[in-house]
Amino acid sequence: MRPTRYLALLVLLSMPYRAEAERRAFGIEDLYRVKGISDLRVSPGGNSAIFTVTTSDLARNKRTGHIWRMDVDGRNLQQLTFAEQGESSPLFSPDGKWISFVSSRGGETNLYLLPTEGGEARQLTRFSAGVSDPLWSPDGKELFYVNDGRLFSVAIQTQPGLTFANPVPLPITGFTQAVTTARQYDITPDGKQFIVVLPPGQGTGNARPTVPIQIVLNWFEDLKQRVPTGKH
């Protein structure tokens, strides 16, 4: 059996060192100094990673994220985006040469494309209602995203230069409002089918839920009634 190699990517964002005499209780100001890391993605070639680093501004009561890149061995750490409004949801293109992300740098949250090595970002969408949940097609020729509960596609060509078409709505609507930041759809590896989360009884064409999902409230009280406690 071939051994499995595990690779740990560790990013250390430390607070300034304080001498023993300067130690004090952890306060709200300290909480705002803590940086958060999210949206970690490893490149298709496995040699680099991108992620979002979020910082807080206590005076402005604001949290802002920017996209960073580094080699998987921890070298060549580089900040890629700097807009005051921030960026999030970075994704590598299937060939690893481009990074898509969402940002409200133009006013509303829209989709942008950036070379992996850094440079000027190009805006792909211009929706007043904003976009969310971007996803590359397996062949790298399309980017999908959700706008106002509907799935859209934008065709992309990167050779000889970057060009992209106008967004096209797809016949899939009615996405649920997610309680987390998790994307509510995915695409099969051959790029021919979508799997989506829709409300019960809702679907377009042959997009129908096949297995119901049951949500149980107050399940612990019900469990105590069903399972003997051993007390007489």
The residue among 152 and 20 whose pLDDT is bigger is 152
Strands, E assignment, the chain: 36-42, 48-57, 62-71, 78-79, 87-92, 98-103, 110-115, 122-123, 132-136, 142-147, 150-157, 163-164, 168-173, 185-187, 194-196
- Give the single-character DSSP code of 72: T
pLDDT at position 105, please? 85
Instruction: Write the DSSP assignment of 142-159 as a string of letters.
Output: EEEEEETTEEEEEEEE-S
Question: In percent, how much of the chain has pLDDT > 70?
Answer: 66
Q: Where are the domains of the chain?
A: 1-123
**CA-CA distance, 58 to 83, in Å (whole number)?**
18
The string of pLDDT tens digits covering residues 20-38 is 445 766 666 666 667 788 8
User: What is the residue-averaged pLDDT of the chain?
Assistant: 77
Collapsed DSSP state (helix, strand, coil) of residue 33: helix
What are φ and ψ of residue 208, in 5° steps? -125, 140
The residue among 35 and 167 whose pLDDT is bigger is 167
C-alpha–C-alpha distance, residues 209 and 195, integer Å: 10
Q: Which of 90-104, 122-136, 171-185, 217-231 is predicted least confidently?
A: 217-231
If you search the block for the tokens 């996209």, which residue do you land on? 67
User: Before 44, cis peptide (omega within 30)?
Assistant: no
Residue 6 has pLDDT above 50, yes or no: no
